[in-house]
Amino acid sequence: MTSVVVLDYGSGNLRSAQRALERVGADVTVTDDYDTAMAADGLVVPGVGAYAACMAGIRAVRGDLIVDRRLAGGRPVLGICVGMQVLFARGVEHGIETEGLGEWPGVVEGIRADVLPHMGWNTVRAPLESTLFAEVRDERFYFVHSYGVTTWELVDTDPHIAPPIVTWSHHGQDFVSAVENGPLCATQFHPEKSGDAGAALLRAWVRSVR
């Protein structure tokens, strides 16, 4: 059975993620223990709330080191919602700029839309080569957020490395709703709250980390 750690750094929604992953066959531990997180087949970084608070919580449990060292060894990591946002270089909320984990260049900022937060079900535009969305390309997923990444800044310069697979959605403007980049994957939406479609996506991710 695939072992997955849901990183506990004080953010909410941990048990929902745990239950959703267990339903698709993973052996899930919710913990902030460094060694356990490093040893697991897959690591999930959830996130609910403010960017700055999430980053402070992640650093407090050495989550920045866990993510960086796992990825350096090609070990899978999945970010969800703010857990995706912190993977970018920085976030700007209410005029406050916070340094992120910097796995991807780019800034998380407020989405320009008539209705915020973006709350509810929305479609995604997943490239044909996506693994995560292979079985759920035409499904809807559940979003709750007011901030996002609206410009993909990573420049592909090495012809020997497959470029990231970037999925987009639209609410007021286009924003990045998922990324698949080797061992690092992330979704802006909540797969654990997205019913059968979310379960299929999580199942695809769990299969990929075995």
Decide if 81 is catalytic: yes
From the list 145, 185, 195, the residue with the least C-alpha distance to 169 is: 145
Distance, in Å, from the CA atom of 71 to the CA atom of 76, rounded to the nearest integer, reads: 7
Using alpha carbons only, give the angle 83, 95, 112 rounded to the nearest 5 degrees: 70
Catalytic residue chosen out of the listed positions 103, 109, 139, 192: 192
Decide if 192 is catalytic: yes
Calculate the alpha carbon distances from 14 to 5, 21, 27, 45, 150 in Å. 10, 11, 14, 9, 27
Burial class, 68, CB count within 10 angstroms (exposed 0-12 / middle 13-18 / buried 19+) = middle
pLDDT tens figures, 109-125: 999 999 999 999 999 99
The β-bridge relationship of strands 88-93 and 96-99 is antiparallel
Calculate the alpha carbon distances from 179 to 29, 32, 64, 91, 127 in Å. 24, 24, 19, 17, 10
> 174 CB contacts (<8 Å, ≥6 apart)?
150, 168
Q: Supply 59's token pair.
A: 């650093």
Q: What pLDDT was estimated at residue 157?
A: 64
CATH code of the domain in which 165 resides: 3.40.50.880
Across-strand partners of 181? 184
- Domain holding 165, by residue range, is 3-208
Decide if 129 is catalytic: no
Domain total in the chain: 1
Q: What pLDDT was estimated at residue 210?
A: 80
Low-confidence ranges of the chain (pLDDT < 50): none
Q: What pLDDT was estimated at residue 11?
A: 86
pLDDT tens figures, 64-113: 999 999 999 999 999 999 999 999 999 999 889 999 999 999 999 999 99
From the list 209, 160, 182, 206, the residue with the least C-alpha distance to 72 is: 182
Catalytic residue chosen out of the listed positions 118, 145, 171, 190: 190
Q: What pLDDT was estimated at residue 156?
A: 72
Catalytic residue chosen out of the listed positions 81, 118, 139, 180: 81
